[in-house]
Each structure stands twice: as C-alpha cells, then as structure tokens.
Chain A
C-alpha cells in the first residue's frame, strides 16, 4: 500500500482564523512586521480589537452623525476610491459639490440672483471651514489697514469663552489674538453688548455661535448685528460678523425660519456649518459660505483649469475622499426641506421627552434652553453627596456615553451633563435613558457619603464656616482635577 503525502504540514491557508498562529502572536505596535499575514486574519484581528471601542450610536457626547440609510452607505462605498481633488477626472462629483454649496447658500439667504452660483466650498469639517473664513477676514483686514497706512501686525478676533477649540487653534496657528467675552452663571453664551465693547481697530471680525457646544443655545446674532452697526458708524472700522453655525445651521432654517441670524443681517459675511452634524452625514464634511465674491480675497484662491472652465479652489486639504460630499447631496435631495424639518422636529420632541423625564426625577436643573440645538444639558440640584462626573461614570456601565464637564470662565463652578439628541436617538432610547439615569441615582444614593466631603467638614473647626456654595466648589474642584486627569477635553 502506498500512502502519498501531499502537503508537509497542513497548509496555513486551510486553518480557520482562530486556529492559525496569527492569533497567538502579539500584533506589531511600534515596528512594521517582517512578514505578511492572510487578509482574513488581518481583518479578524483588527475587527476584534475594535469591538472594545465605544458604540458610536450610544455616544451621546457627539453631535456628529452616526447613522445613514443603507442606500447612502452604498453610494459612499462606491465612491471610496475617488479622490475628490481630481476635479478634471470626476466632473460630476465636483458638480455635486457646487450644487451643495448653492443649496446651502440659498438656505442661508445669501443675496444671490436666480441661477447665480454661491461662493463657498466643501471642507473636511468646521475646523477647516473656520480657518478658511478667518484667513479671509485676516487678509481683508490687512489689505484695508495697509491701504490706510496703518499697522497690521496685531490682528484680533472677538468671540465668547464658550467657543469651540478650533477657534483657539485658528488664533494660535494663524497668529491672531483671541479676545474672549467671559461667561457668567446663568448666561452661558457670548453677550453681544460685551462683545461689541471688546471690538477695536485691530479686530478682524466678531464670531458668534449658532448652537453653543456647551448648552445648544443660539447666540443673539441680530442684536450683535444691530449693536455692531452702531459702533461701526461711530468708529468707521467696518467690523463684520462670522457666524459659526456648525450645529445650528441645519436646524434654525427648519425649526425657526423667522429667526434672523444669517445673511439677512448685513454684517454677516461668512457662515460655516458642519455637514456631519445636523447635515446628517458621517464625519468628514463641513461647508463654508461667503456672502459674495468681495468677502473672499482673490489672492487666497488657487485657480485650476478644468477643460477650459475655471475652477477656483481655496481649501487647506488637497486629496481627500469624495464619499461625504456625495452623501451630503444625497441627503439634500432625498430629504428636501420637509424631510429635514421632520427630522429636526422629531429631535426636538425627543429632547423634550428627555427633559421632562429628567425634571420629573426632581434632582436636576435643566441648563439648556428649549430653543436651540436639540440637546439636554442638566446639572444636579444638590451635588454634595455625589456629582455629575460620577453619574457620567456610572452611566457608562449601562453602555451610555454621557459626558460631564465644567463651564469655562467665569462659570467654572458649574458642572453639567449633556445629552445630544441626534437623528437616530428615538423616543424609545430617550425613555430608556431616563430609566437608566433613575437607576444610577438610586445606586449612588445607596452608597456611603462621599469621603471627600467628610474630610472637608471635619477640618471645619480651624477654618471659618463655609457656605454650601464654597463646599460645593471645593468638591467640584477636587473631582474635576481627579477626573480631568483621566477625561479628555470636551469634544463636540
């Protein structure tokens, strides 16, 4: 009898992934491995490690879209290998971007004629959009000062202290001074009166936020506009406004169409909005729209010739994917005005449901307003026994990610929890969240009193009697230091 042997050891490719040697070895972390591995193994290993990431849809910290229709997912996957910047090779994709710009410009009531193209561009997010807008303001201001023969080496920008980190980045990287209007307890947005006071001859623009990251409030852009008009008349400085409508830009036109915050106000020269927030597209797309050509200095634009027609480009990023731009156009035509309106109304409804559920516990103060971005920001009425950071930690065990943070100066003693209501946060989830928060409160109530509090109380004989507010502030500070050591800076 002859026995023939075919393979020496059984072929590696025959092994089921979890039987193979690839799951026995440590993955390369600092140096590229010498050898290749089969694609199934590579897929499985990475996929498995990623299971330990948070679930994007339960991440209530973020405004950024976490769900899209399968049809749109299909369009995105089909265009994943299209490099957007190849305008010559992908003219339709470029055209889709232009259509989006036009549609958004018209949504913001830009003073355009029928069939006139809007001035704007798609970006990777509001950060890039804001940097481009800021750059345009800076250059315009420099040109004006140069023409007047005045110094232009100390530009500044006026915003509220509630501003998102990308404004600080802009100021740092592009060498513009950031003049922040401080907040105060009970008033967590930029005060237009104070803002206008801070304006001087070196101010390149005043940046107002439609949909503050902290509590979703819309700043009063109309009032800012009126006050600034008056000041401009007095000073002749011609300071203009930029509206950071990252969140609010796709909410206000549908829920509050009479609210005047956009190009209807004459001093508003540019607006940015995140396509990936309430534009309902996955992370990676923002839009910046200018009022008209004059507000975007020509010298900043690079011209690319596209089969005879001129395609101006003004972005920081060059090569990037096309998927999100196509997805944005899909959403705009798929939903239309009524679709967006319905979704925003649902979000608002669900936010109210959550708010009422929280109020009925009797333990929370609601810090967010009803009008604004659909989110609920709330703080504990009494945080001597336990505070908002602990609630946030406990909720993680149920799977929810609900961030807690303290307000910027001058309201640092106020701590809030914030839940953002996105498109995919249904009423059922809202009700479940309320139930889980109730559970968490019960669990925290049952725990022995906070040892830190006892320490503070015992050392009371040597120190003067402290008010509850002071004790509260102490505890918050201590917790804040402890948790900030392991908590990230707030992300929107």
Chain B
C-alpha cells in the first residue's frame, strides 16, 4: 500500500480559527512576520482586537457621519477600488464630483450663471479645503503686494481663538502668522469688531466660522462683512473673508435660509464645508468653493485635459478613493433639499429634547445657543466638588463618549461637556442619554470629592483629548501634584473599602 502525502503541515485549513495556532501567537507589532497566515485568521484577529475600539455611533464627540443607508454602503463598496485621480479612466466619477461642486456652489449662492461651471473641488476633508483656500489667499495677496512694490514676506491671517486646529496647521506649514481674537466668558466666538481691528496690510484674509467647534454657534459673518467693507474703504487693502462652514454649511441653508453668511456677502471669496459632517457622508470628503475664477490664482492650478474639455485640479492629495464622492452625490439626489431640511430639523428637535432634559436636572448651565449646529454644550453650575471631567469618564461606563474640555484663552476656567446631535441620534437615544446622565450625577455625588477642582481641571486638561483643538494648559505645580497624589490615594482606599454598586458596561 502506498500512501502519498502532499501536504506536510497537519491540516491547518481544517482548524476552526480559534482552534488554530494563530489565536495563540502574539500579533506582530514591530517587525513584519516571516510567514503568511490564513485570511480567515487575519480577519478574525483584527476584527476581534477592533471590538475594543469605541462604538462610532455612540461617539457624541464627533460631528462626522457614522451611519448611511445600506444602498449607499453598496455603492461605496463597489467603488472602493477606484482611484479618484484617474479622471481619464473614470469620467463618470469625475463628473459626479463636478456636479457636487455645482450644487454646493448654488446652495451657497455663488454668482454662477445657469450653464457656467462653479469653481471648486472635492477634498479629503475641511483641513485640505482650508489649506487650499488659504494658499489661494496667500498667493493672491503676494501677487498684489509684489505689483505694488511692497514687501510680501510676513503674511498673516485673522481668526478667533475658537478656531479648529487645521487653521493652526495651515499657519504653521505655510508660514503665515496666526492672529487670534481672544474669547471671553460668555462670548465664545470671534468678535467681528475686534477682528477688524486686528486687520493690517499683511492680512491675507479674515477667517470666520459658521458653526464653532466648541459651542456650535454661528459667527456673525454679515456684521464682519459690513465692518470690513468700511475698513477696506478707508485703507484700500481689500481684505477678503473666508467662511469656514465645515459644520454649518449644510445646516444654515436648510434651517436658516434667510441668514446671510455666504456668497451673498460681497467680501466672502471662498467657503469650505465638510461633506462628512452634515453633508451626511462617512469620513473622507470635504468641499471648497470659490466665488469666481479670479479668486483662485491660475498658477496654483494644474490642468488635466479630459476628452477635449479641460479639467483643472488643485488638491494636496493625489490618489485617493472615489467612494465618498459618489456617496455625497447619492445623498444630494436621494435627499434633495427637502430631505436635508427634514433631517436638520429632526436634529434640532432632538437637541432641544436633550437640552430640556438637562435643564430639568437643575445642575447644568447650557452654553450652546439654540441657533447654530445641533449640539448641546453644558457646564456644571457648581463644580467645586465634582467636575465635568468626572461626568465624562463615568458616562463611558454606560457606553457613551461625551467629551469634556476647557475653553481656549481667555476663558480657560470654563469647562464644558458637549454632545453633538447627528442624523442617527434619535429621540430615544436623547432620552436615554438624559437618564444616564442623571444616574451618573447620583453616583458621583455619593463619592467624596476626588481632588481640588483646580487640580482636576488642570490634570484633566492635561489628560483629556479635545477633538479639533489643542489646549495646552500649564502643568500643575509640584505642590499641587503632591496634594493630587494624596487625594488620589485617599479616594482609591475609600473605593476599595466602600461597597460600590456594580455598573453595567457597554452591551
């Protein structure tokens, strides 16, 4: 009898994934492993480790879309392998981008004729959009200064201190000075009067936010425009405005159509909006639109000839996926104006429900305004014993991610919690969050105050990550550290001794 053996290894393929050796070995973290492993094992291992990531839909810190319809998921999957930049090979995808640009330009009342193409481009997010807009302003300003025979080596940009980190990045990477208008207690956005005062001959533009990250407020672009028009008349500097409508750009046109913040104001030359925020698409798409051809210097644009017609491109990224652009177009035609309006109205309504639920508890002060991005920012009326940071931590045990952070200068003593209401945050979730916050308050109150409030603020600021803002508060002094350590060990002991109620984790 001849027995022929072909496979040397004992039938690895037969093993159920968790029976195989793969579940027993440590995953490579530093060096590429020598051998391949089966795809099922690779899938299972990675999938399992990822279970420990937060649940995107319970992440109330983020404005970025976390749910789309299955039909759209299908379109996204089908186009995962399309490299967007291959405009010649994927002409339809390119055209879908152009249609989106046109639609958004019209939504923002760009002065575009009926059959004229709007000037704009799809980007990976508002960061790229802002860098492109900033670059256009910088180049225009340099050209103007050069023609006037004046120095052009010290450009600056005027914004509020509530600005998102990508403006700081733009300033640093493209060598533009950032002149920030400081905030103050109860006024957490850029003051147009102060902003215009800061404008000088080196200012390439004033950047205003429609939908501040911190409180969701809309800045008063109309007032800024009026003041700046006056100033420009006096100085002859012709300083323009850029509106960072990352969040607000897909809210204002539907809920506040009479609010003048876009190209209806003559000094607004470019606007960016995140497709992946209230544009209702997954992370990875933003849009920037310019008022007209003049506002985008030609020497920044690379030209691609596409079957006879010219396709200008001006992006930082080159190869990238096509999925999000197709998804954006899906949302535009699927929802239309009425669809977006309905969704935004629902978000505002759910935000109100949450706000009222919090007000009823009598412990919170609502910092966010009713008009703005649908979010609720709230602080504790009395934070001498317990802080919002503790509430944020405790809420995590219920599965909610609600960030706590301190305001930028000059309002650093104010600490807030912020819950962003996205499309997929239904009323039942709003009610559940309210009841969980109530539970958390009860639990925290039963505990002794952990550490002095000031220390809590400082330490929590050092330890907590704020999405979209870098807040660097000075480190606590040595004395404070010591008292912190003492208090912490005291609390730890009390917790060990006291019988604590078991809190259920995330289901």
Query: A residues within 8 Å of B by Cβ?
Result: 27-37, 39-40, 42-43, 45-47, 49-50, 52-54, 56-57, 59, 61-62, 64-69, 71-93, 96, 99, 102-103, 106-107, 114-115, 124-128, 131, 135, 153, 165-166, 168-169, 172-174, 274, 276, 282-284, 299-300, 302-308, 311, 316-324, 326, 329-330, 332-340, 342, 401, 484-489, 491-492
Contacts and interface: CB of A to CB of B under 8 A. Distances in A.
Contacts of B124: 124, 317, 320
Contacts of B43: 71-72, 74-75, 330
A319 B274 contact: yes
Given A46-B330, A76-B80, A333-B45, A82 B53 contact: yes
A128 B317 contact: yes
Given A34-B338, A81-B56, A276 B300 contact: no
A333 B33 contact: yes
A166 B90 CA distance: 20
Interface string B338-359: 1110000000000000000000
**Chain A to chain B: the 9 pairs with minimum beta-carbon distance, closest first:** A334-B42, A42-B334, A71-B43, A43-B71, A339-B36, A36-B339, A54-B89, A89-B54, A30-B102
A284 B319 contact: yes
A175 B221 CA distance: 32
Interface residues of B, number: 126
Contact of B307 (A45, A302, A486): A486
Interface stretch (B1-9, B163-171, B411-419): B163-171
Contacts of B336: 28, 32-37
Contact of A320 (B103, B283, B330): B283
28 contacts: A29-B99, A31-B102, A50-B75, A68-B81, A81-B65, A86-B467, A90-B53, A90-B54, A91-B53, A125-B319, A127-B316, A153-B153, A173-B174, A300-B173, A302-B165, A307-B463, A308-B462, A319-B274, A319-B283, A320-B284, A321-B283, A322-B283, A326-B46, A329-B46, A330-B42, A333-B27, A333-B33, A338-B35
Contacts of B49: 92, 96
A276 B333 contact: no
A274 B173 contact: no
Contacts of B32: 103, 106-107, 332, 336-337, 340
A66 B89 contact: no
Interface in B33-59: 33-37, 39-40, 42-43, 45-47, 49-50, 52-54, 56-57, 59
Contact of A126 (B71, B88, B282, B318): B318
Nearest to A91: B53
B317 A103 contact: no
Contact of A284 (B96, B103, B321): B321
B35 A336 contact: yes
Given A32-B103, A53-B82, A318 B166 contact: yes
A72 B44 CA distance: 10
Contacts of B92: 49-50, 52-53
B335 interface: yes
Given A71-B42, A339-B36, A35 B99 contact: no
Nearest to A50: B92
Interface in B72-101: 72-93, 96, 99
Given A124-B317, A401-B89, A35 B465 contact: no
A128 B305 CA distance: 23
A320 B128 CA distance: 11
B237 interface: no
A172 B300 contact: yes
A87 B465 contact: yes
A274 B304 CA distance: 22
A316 B39 contact: no
A31 B112 CA distance: 11
B376 interface: no
A172 B139 CA distance: 10
Contacts of A81: 56-57, 65-68, 282-283
Contacts, number: 371
B189 interface: no
Interface of B: 27-37, 39-40, 42-43, 45-47, 49-50, 52-54, 56-57, 59, 61-62, 64-69, 71-93, 96, 99, 102-103, 106-107, 114-115, 118, 124-128, 131, 135, 153, 165-166, 168-169, 172-174, 274, 276, 282-284, 299-300, 302-308, 311, 316-322, 324, 326, 329-330, 332-340, 401, 403, 462-465, 467-468, 470, 472
B126 A485 contact: no
Contacts of A69: 39
B38 to A, nearest CB: 8
B319 A127 contact: yes
A276 B49 CA distance: 23
Nearest to A34: B337
A82 B71 CA distance: 19
Nearest to A117: B30
Given A31-B106, A300-B172, A103 B338 contact: no
B300 A173 contact: yes
B283 A316 contact: no
A454 B464 CA distance: 76
Contacts of B81: 56-57, 65-68, 282-283
Contacts of B320: 124-125, 283-284
B34 A338 contact: yes
A169 B303 CA distance: 12
A195 to B, nearest CB: 24
B217 to A, nearest CB: 21
B88 A487 contact: yes
Contacts of B302: 165, 168-169, 489
Nearest to B276: A319
Given A32-B107, A127-B317, A337-B33, A485 B75 contact: no
Given A81-B66, A83-B56, A322-B283, 13 more contacts: A30-B114, A33-B333, A50-B93, A83-B62, A89-B54, A89-B62, A96-B46, A99-B29, A124-B317, A174-B173, A316-B317, A321-B324, A486-B308
A319 B472 CA distance: 21
A64 B322 CA distance: 13
Nearest to A104: B32
A103 B76 CA distance: 29
A485 B114 contact: no
Given A62-B86, A319-B127, A491-B88, A92 B465 contact: no
B319 A274 contact: yes
A422 to B, nearest CB: 11
B92 to A, nearest CB: 5
A319 B330 contact: no
A218 to B, nearest CB: 21
A449 B286 CA distance: 50
A242 B290 CA distance: 35
A59 B128 CA distance: 28
B284 to A, nearest CB: 4
B338 A35 contact: yes
Contacts of A72: 39, 42-43
Nearest to A66: B81
Contact of A318 (B72, B80, B127, B465): B127
A193 to B, nearest CB: 30
Contacts of A305: 462-465
A153 B169 CA distance: 21
B470 A302 contact: yes
Contacts of A284: 284, 319-321
B107 to A, nearest CB: 6
Contacts of A126: 318-319
Nearest to A276: B319
